[in-house]
Amino acid sequence: MTNLEGVYGCPDWVSRAVVYQIFPDRFRRSGRVQHQQMLKLLPWGSEPSGQGMQGGDLYGVIDSLEYLQDFGINCIYLNPIFLSSANHRYHTIDYFNVDPILGGNKALEALIVNMHERGMRLILDGVFNHCGRGFWAFNDLLENGKSSAYRDWFYVYKWPLNPYPKKKKECGYYCWFNDPALPKFNHENSHVRNYLLSVATFWLEKGIDGWRLDVPNEIPIDFWVEFRSKVKGINPDAWILGEIWGDARPWLQSKIFDGVMNYSVGWSTLSWSAGNRLRTSYRNSSYPLKKLNSKTYSSILNNILSMYEADINKCQLNLLDSHDVPRALNTLNNDIKALKIALLIIFLLPGAPCIYYGTEDYMSGGRDPECRESLMWNSLDNQDLKKYLLSLKELRQYLNHLHHSLLVWKEFEKDCILGTLTQNDEALTSISEIQVFINRSRKKSISIPKRKCSPLFMLGSIEGDLQKIGPQSAVVLSLG
């Protein structure tokens, strides 16, 4: 692979970001999108399903920016927003037009302006592996068959094409996950490449701050080398984030991407925090929910962090859940204390913590599409978790050396882990140490050594002059 490290580094702002992922159709309906007035939308709060629109829009996101900033959010990652026939919008029809149901291009332009005025960043979802059946070039292929001018834009292996095949029948073209609704682009075609690269640069020039890239491992790497060069040439501070679920060293050590969606942190952190109450019914080899003891979890966490250089770790997106997996609270069997433990951990890691929309309101949907439920703005009851998330943001700001240093984790007791960081403060010519004790037990308190220290953060019950950590509690200590 081509090494681009000397060309463009990772954006510094990412390590200070607190990201909020929004599934646009289910986040907030503003009532200000004229196009929606001629449509029959599903009632807001309908049972989430793979079909039908509930009408969340980008003006609804604008209306929510102050709400998000109130608990520390300074970056938004939007699931796809371009014209599509699917509520998740991974079936792209036109990459240069924001879906009019979302408010169209003007709504995105207004969102960018409003976010930048507030010092916030915006990341879009780039679906460059495949498109929807309604994509204009594929539509031409369906209409004209072998005579289509776009026949080399896709991989056709059998004529005539059958875009709506019956069960066990072939569609005649390669598609993502064998889904005929998602024809795969031919990236060996220079015209396809140029088209997709022009999409990436067009929206960067409109002011977005980066791309989250859908299934990038299914696209030739040389495309991503060119993609990075184009993107960074326009905005060196743009964040290029790949959806790689496991070991991402081939993509990150060669600087193809700045960071990846760190699902390994997510499944392992939930698996440990939940203890015996972990819900394990979800099956995904890339997100293997399984009970972990403290020694194993510490080893997994240290291994994840040691796989990459510091410059890479600070550009990772550390998430617990997303639109593709059950919500964290579902996996934790609705244990809010366990959720707070898991959130504390991802806020202590280098990189950017990511909050999936509605987490702050205890949303607990299961596997897709249940994890894509509507946020009920008329009944929000989230002050406790909002305050907690803001306190995590403030802790993270105070421990700003975590942006380029690693806590080393180990088992302290059966249900307790200890994270330690030694930081050399040259200005004070002294060595300061940070220690983090996290007790996941629901019944047992944990005693810790007596020492001269001051608490930087406390969760739950801390007893006996910082000598005992109560059940499902944690403390961050500064030793000087």
Residue whose pair of structure tokens reads 């249940």 in the numeric block = 370
Q: Tell me whether residue 309 is one of the annotated catalytic residues.
A: no
> Nearest to residue 121, comparing CAs of 228, 243, 241, 290?
241
One of 243, 258, 335, 373 is an active-site residue; which one?
243
Q: What is the pLDDT of residue 403?
A: 65
> Nearest to residue 120, comparing CAs of 19, 257, 258, 234?
19
Q: In 18-91, at which residue ranges do the beta strands (DSSP E only) sit?
A: 19-22, 75-78, 82-84
> Nearest to residue 456, comparing CAs of 441, 472, 430, 437?
437
Class of domain 408-479: mainly beta
Q: What is the pLDDT of residue 424?
A: 52
What integer best gives the mean pLDDT of the chain? 94
Q: Tell me whether residue 214 is one of the annotated catalytic residues.
A: yes
Sites in the chain below the pLDDT cut of 70 = 1-8, 402-404, 423-431, 480
- Which DSSP string corresponds to 194-229? HHHHHHHHHHHHTT--EEEESSGGGS-HHHHHHHHH
- Report, at the CATH architecture level, how domain 12-129+185-403 is classified: Alpha-Beta Barrel (3.20)
One of 214, 321, 373, 415 is an active-site residue; which one?
214
pTM of the shown model: 0.96
Residue ranges, comma separated, of all CATH 2.60.40.1180 domains in the chain are 408-479
